[in-house]
Amino acid sequence: MQVTASHLSKRFHSGGETLTVFDGVSFDLASGTATALTGESGSGKSTLLHICAGLERPDGGTVNVGEADLTNLPDRRAAAFRRAHVGLVFQQFNLIPSLNVADNLTFQARLNGAMDGDWRDYLIDRLGLSGMVARYPEQLSGGQQQRVAIGRALATRPAVVFADEPTGNLDEATADTVMQVFLDLVAQSGTTLLMVTHSERLAGMLPHRLHLSGGRLAQ
């Protein structure tokens, strides 16, 4: 599914002052492509990603994911669209402590009525989780928890995945391993990926890049 951002702007107001995070940001992500979004700390990368996912509203401009204008959809309809078409992966794993690995992984898919048992089993095997489906998040390492979070995001076979520093809490070796599995599964699914990362090493694993600096975007 294609993602098109047109003339996005975002400002924050504090103490009578206005801070422009970015202004006039436009880009297209072709369906099935994987793109890293890089930039200095505080440049607005995460804010831009959240706007693209419909989690925040811009001050100006629009975001279309496929035919849906997420910028102008009411919150309830935007949430329904995300459940059906979008996968989200964050630096904080956001697993449900009271659910085991199997139930965490399938949580979103079950909510959406899109559970595919064969795909679930494949994800569990490919993510190296076969021996731990009955464990709970507190019984997992950081790398294992992130694998579950990735599986949960992909369990619905989403058309688009938005990932915000998905390996930021992992050591370098674990991050590289998890990232390669993630990218392999994204490519296999034909999913469009936009991933925020501060790591040049991880950004280099993706074929496309956008760089946010000084409120502007360089491709």
Domain extents in the chain: 3-218
Report pLDDT for 203. Answer: 94
Joined together, the tokens standing for residue 3 give 């993602």
Query: Quick check: 219 pLDDT over 80?
Result: no
Among 3.90.650.10, 3.60.20.10, 3.40.50.300, 3.40.30.10, name the CATH number for the domain at 3-218: 3.40.50.300
- How does residue 41 score in pLDDT terms, banded at 50, 70 and 90? confident
Joined together, the tokens standing for residue 138 give 């507190």
Joined together, the tokens standing for residue 156 give 């619905």
Query: Quick check: 103 pLDDT over 90?
Result: yes
pLDDT digits (tens, 9 = 90+) for 58-67: 999 999 999 9
Q: What does residue 163 show for φ and ψ, rounded to 5 degrees?
A: -125, 130
| Section 4-33 average pLDDT | 92
Rounded to the nearest integer, the mean pLDDT of the chain is 92
- How does residue 100 score in pLDDT terms, banded at 50, 70 and 90? very high
* CA angle in degrees (0–180, nearest 5) for 76-51-37: 140
The model carries a pTM of: 0.92
- Calculate the dihedral angle through the C-alpha atoms of 88, 148, 186, 162, rounding to the nearest 10 degrees: 10
Query: Can you tell me which residue has the tokens 């309809």?
Result: 77
pLDDT digits (tens, 9 = 90+) for 108-159: 888 777 778 899 999 999 999 999 999 999 999 999 999 999 999 998 899 9
Report pLDDT for 42. Answer: 85
Report pLDDT for 44. Answer: 92
CA separation for the pair 210, 166 (Å, rounded): 17
